[in-house]
Chain A
Amino acid sequence: MDKVNFHFDIDGDNFTSAGEASVRIKKMLREMGFTPEIIRRVSVAMYEGEINMVIHANGGDADVNVYCDRIEIILSDRGPGIPNIELAMQEGYSTAPDNIRSLGFGAGMGLPNMKRYTDDMTIESEVGKGTTITMTVNV
């Protein structure tokens, strides 16, 4: 079946606006009639990813593809990459600087939360080139 695509450019220079795309996706999914549980899972996973892209990677691209049986979130950046994905997936592990912690993030919960709220998550990352995270929530 055809997909519906939503694309967002994530501004990496502005922490204040971080999360705007996720709020918009939440609204669009609500208008499309998805259940509150599905909407929350998709928007929280995307929100954490969006925050990560702003904190670590100077922004990037976010695509949300809505299919009849699943919603796919693809977050792609040209940031520093993740040297050790297994370590990055551990709850509490974070490389975020202190100023980010003072803003309420950087507790090492971002990637684990993204995995927790989605049915499938893959991370492709190359140091010095960037990271692409693909998440799927089954409908």
Chain B
Amino acid sequence: MQIKKIAELLNAQVLCGEELLEGVVNSAFGCDMMSDVLAFVKDQSVLLTGLCNPQVVRTAVMMDMKCIVFVRGKRPSEDVVRLADDSGIVVMATEERMYAACGVLYTNGLPGGSVANG
């Protein structure tokens, strides 16, 4: 799925990485606990979360993710957006809640992918 399709499906506002919207991602992971992201993500390149601190971006960087979707209307600070922008990660924000956002993406063909070390 193209990253711009995610923004379209979730009616999300893109906060940085406009130039990367043509990129393609193959799976996603939804979570507010960053240690779980570090434990269970394998090749998922989209992170959906309601957590809004710099560790979200660093965690995504660690796992080579390409896109962060902030759900439930959460808005990261400018510093967090800048950190993502510098790291080449697309950031978008949607009013959708976690369950609904994941459901929309899943039913439109973006799966959860495999589980690391599982």
Q: Are A109 and B39 in contact (CB under 8 A)?
A: yes
- Residue from B34, B36, B49 having most chain A Cβ neighbours under 10 A: B34
- Interface window among B18-26, B61-69, B96-104: B61-69
How many angstroms from the CA of A16 to the CA of B63 in the assembled complex? 19
CB distance from A116 to the nearest CB of B (A): 6
How many angstroms from the CA of A47 to the CA of B57 in the assembled complex? 12
Contacts of A19 in B (CB 8 A): 54-55, 58-59
Contacts of B64 in A (CB 8 A): 36, 40
Q: How many of chain A's residues have a CB under 8 angstroms from any CB in B?
A: 27
> Which of A44, A104, A109 makes the CB contact (< 8 A) with B53?
A104
Contacts of A23 in B (CB 8 A): 58, 61-62, 87
CB distance from B12 to the nearest CB of A (A): 21
Q: Which of B3-34 contact A (CB under 8 A)?
A: 32-34
Where chain A touches its partner, the secondary structure class is helix
> Which of A36, A48, A104, A112 makes the CB contact (< 8 A) with B33?
A104
Q: Are B58 and A104 in contact (CB under 8 A)?
A: no
Q: Are B34 and A104 in contact (CB under 8 A)?
A: yes
How many angstroms from the CA of A78 to the CA of B32 in the assembled complex? 30
Q: How many of chain B's residues have a CB under 8 angstroms from any CB in A?
A: 21
- Residue from B36, B53, B54, B58 having most chain A Cβ neighbours under 10 A: B58
> Which of B39, B59, B62 makes the CB contact (< 8 A) with A112?
B39
CB distance from A22 to the nearest CB of B (A): 7
Q: Are A103 and B51 in contact (CB under 8 A)?
A: yes
Q: Which of B39-98 contact A (CB under 8 A)?
A: 39, 49, 51, 53-56, 58-59, 61-64, 87
Shortest Cβ distance from A96 into B: residue: B35
Measuring CB to CB, which residues of chain B are less than 8 angstroms from any residue of chain A? 32-36, 38-39, 49, 51, 53-56, 58-59, 61-64, 87, 117
Identify the 5 closest CB pairs spanning chains A and B, nearest first. A109-B35, A104-B34, A19-B58, A107-B35, A104-B51
